[in-house]
Chain A
Amino acid sequence: MKEGSGEEQNVAPSVYSHVSRPGSHRYKSAKKGLPFNVMLVGESGLGRTTFLNTLCERVVIPPREAGNCEQAHIAEPMQFKHYTVDMEEDGMKIVLNIIDTPGFGDGIDNENCFTRIQEYIEMQYDNVLAEENRIKRNTKFTDTRIHALLYFITPTGHSLREIDVELMRRLGSRINIIPVIGRSDSLTPRELVLFKQRVMNDISANGIPIFNFPNSDDDEDEESVEENAELRAMLPFAVVGCEEVINEEGRPVRVRKYPWGVVQVDNDEHSDFDRLRYVLLNSHIADLRDRTQNGLYELYRTEKLSGTNIIAGTAAATNPAAVAPTAAATGSPVVQPPMVPQSHPVAA
């Protein structure tokens, strides 16, 4: 757990107050715990499980059981697995809901993985939409909208693969995507810098929307603007997962041991893990929630209720039960009769 951030900004007291109080970027639901829903997506072996266990500082997802060797030629379909962990960060209680997607990208043909994830995300939005429209609403309604999607990129050292581009392209307008490099300890520092550059070039060249730490409109705080710029430059985050804890000079250190050296998971020079953890659980948890609830959800809602597809390129499934009749969204070619030429030769 990171030691106290020490960045408590005291709000200027109103004319009548006697005491200045800490800034309320923290939510007030101190008792119940702030729900934070995160989805982990990536091919198997990139360290999703280890990442989560490292993030929560305990074994949340048990190590995968080796499947049957005789079944190894059959791809297991992608599953959605849920885990809930109560966390406390900087005095703030968080209920971390994780949705893992084992089986993503593991098959020979992975075309349907994208649609299934998209449907899952939209289903959570649909639940909220339905709840909003109820006459008698459920006060205990749990908001399952996913606030962030961590996408694990294979550290090829070259650039994004087709499956990476496709996933981020199709889902980026529905959910906050934070790209992450899994197993980043397979890249040397120079290779890592080049890889990050290439990945970000690919992302901008393809027009892929990701969560790139945007400055909110009313955010004129120079420090936050700087912080966001710094984080933007770190994308995608290079992550290493912890295998064991050793004792170094009396302090526990999380490490990965190799014959040629020891990687320190929480060391900023070895990996971006600690920074990412802080972003997720502390500095940007509000941003992510806000953007999901007030940005992405609203966009989805508008699209769904008006039955039109505002965003070009996404395959948003328009609900047949939508209110307004849909204009012919499919581009069926309308035959235009040609203009009859003006000077007509008359056949006698």
Chain B
Amino acid sequence: MSATEASANPQATAGGIGIANLPNQLHKIVTKKGTNFSLMVVGESGTGKTTFINTLLTTELIEPLDDATRRKKQLDKTVDINIHKAELEEKMFSVKLNVVDTPGFGDYVDNNDCWLPVVDFIENQYEQYLRQEQQPVRKGIVDMRVHACLYFIRPNGHTLKPLDVRAMKAIGARVNLIPVIAKADTLSPTALRQFKKRVMDVIDAQSIRIYQPPVESDDGNSEERNREIISAVPFAIIGSTLEVKTEDGRRVKGRQYPWGVAEVENDQHCDFRKLRSLLIRTHMLDLISTTEESHYDKYRTTQMKTRKFGEPKPKKSENKKFREEEEALRKRFTEKVKLEENRFRQWEQKLIAERDRLNKDLEQEHNLVKQLESEIEAISNAGSPNNKFFRK
């Protein structure tokens, strides 16, 4: 039982009316209800998002794409939103987990606005929840609001790319953003330290809002641990679902190189355990509550200020790319129509010319026939007057 505040009346602690038992009741309720947690992963392909999720959940929730699918994805140049659902259970406590993946983000030559589908998805979940809340019957609300978004930064060792800055700014304003350094086993410890510092400097200078876990806690150990976790941001992670043997014979989850084994659960090698702790063990409920109380509330307030009750959300202007494509298609269409019209006009003229020519021919023939007829008549008139067949 967590330490409750000492009541003003020292006598109350002795017997008490039982308020101190509330946390236990809450515990029972929460245990029975379970909870719902949505996690989003954003980053260029090849940064280890799928592997990380599968490592975190110790199960292959997301299947890695095969080559053919990947090549096809390269061609369609869009950012998709894929949702993977799982139900985890540990010691009688169940969590309905939703993992939202964003393949295609940052993968193309032109990545303008590639964060828009991500931002739209986040806001749409708020919108859905808002709408459901406003219904007369509120039972069975489906809550897909994103509680945490992991942004995978490529370990280039220098600085954040402009794409990262723009995307993180847009995302961090709407959801709990946790920056993560992907594939950290390619940076030496010194380089990693410098890179982390540089990333945090840019985040501060650009006013990018990231998730700040609370430090204070009821017991001193947690505080120490919390401080450690906070100081490790952005988290350098290595992901692996394979078990390998280290030089000293231990079997660990890690990546085996000719020069050694990079271990996933070793704090000297990467920050995986700290991140897992943040996401699940220590701060999951905080992530959920900050989403509901802070981010969702902000959205709700702005929407309610500008919209009347029950009115649908105004649709944002369409994606620029779609507009461009639409324009191009329209132009092609009108050009094609013009071409066909031209073709038909020419054909028509040709037909008319042909008809005139034939008419002329016909007239000529007609004239010829007339001429011959008149000749015949002339001959017949000039011919024998005794001919019974011809009249005068």
Residues of A within 8 A of B (CB): 43-46, 64, 66-67, 69-70, 72-75, 106-111, 154-159, 161-163, 165-166, 183, 185-186, 188-189, 198, 201-202, 205, 243, 256-264, 269-270, 333, 335, 337-338, 340, 344, 346-348
Contacts and interface: CB of A to CB of B under 8 A. Distances in A.
Interface in B119-172: 154-163, 165-166, 169
Contact of A109 (B107, B112, B189): B112
A344 B358 contact: yes
Contacts of B165: 72-73
A246 B70 CA distance: 42
A129 B383 CA distance: 95
Interface string B242-253: 000000000000
**8 tightest A-B CB contacts, nearest first:** A45-B156, A261-B260, A156-B46, A69-B205, A261-B259, A186-B186, A260-B260, A73-B165
Given A109-B111, A256-B188, A263-B257, 10 more contacts: A69-B202, A107-B163, A155-B46, A156-B45, A243-B188, A260-B269, A263-B259, A337-B347, A340-B354, A346-B358
Contacts, number: 160
Nearest to A270: B258
9 contacts: A45-B154, A109-B110, A161-B45, A260-B259, A261-B257, A263-B259, A337-B346, A344-B354, A346-B358
A258 B188 contact: yes
Given A158-B46, A186-B185, A107 B257 contact: no
Nearest to A163: B109
A43 B111 CA distance: 15
Nearest to B201: A69
B108 A162 contact: yes
Contacts of B160: 72
A348 B286 CA distance: 90
A256 B71 CA distance: 34
Nearest to A195: B46
B260 to A, nearest CB: 2
Given A110-B110, A243-B188, A258-B188, A159 B256 contact: no
A39 B66 CA distance: 34
A161 B186 CA distance: 20
A185 B257 contact: yes
A258 B262 contact: yes
Contacts of B159: 66-67, 72
A202 B260 CA distance: 31
A76 B188 CA distance: 26
Contacts of A188: 255-257
B259 A72 contact: no
Contact of B156 (A43, A69, A108, A163): A43
B204 interface: yes
Contacts of B201: 69
A120 B107 CA distance: 26
B183 interface: yes
B343 A335 contact: yes
A108 B112 contact: yes
Contacts of B47: 156
A262 B259 CA distance: 6
A259 B166 CA distance: 33
A337 B162 contact: no
A346 B108 contact: no
A333 B340 CA distance: 12
Nearest to A261: B260
Nearest to A161: B107
Nearest to A68: B205
B343 A338 contact: yes
B381 interface: no
A335 B342 contact: yes
Nearest to B184: A186
Contacts of A154: 46, 154
A108 to B, nearest CB: 5
Interface string B318-354: 0000000000000000000001001100110011001
Contacts of A335: 339, 342-343, 346
Contacts of A74: 162
A107 B164 CA distance: 10
Contacts of A159: 67, 70-71
Contacts of A157: 46
A43 to B, nearest CB: 7
A198 B45 CA distance: 15
A73 B188 contact: no
Given A70-B206, A110-B110, A346-B355, A45 B162 contact: no
Given A158-B45, A346-B355, A108 B155 contact: no
B350 A346 contact: no
B162 A73 contact: yes
B158 A44 contact: yes
Interface in B61-77: 65, 67, 70-71, 74, 77
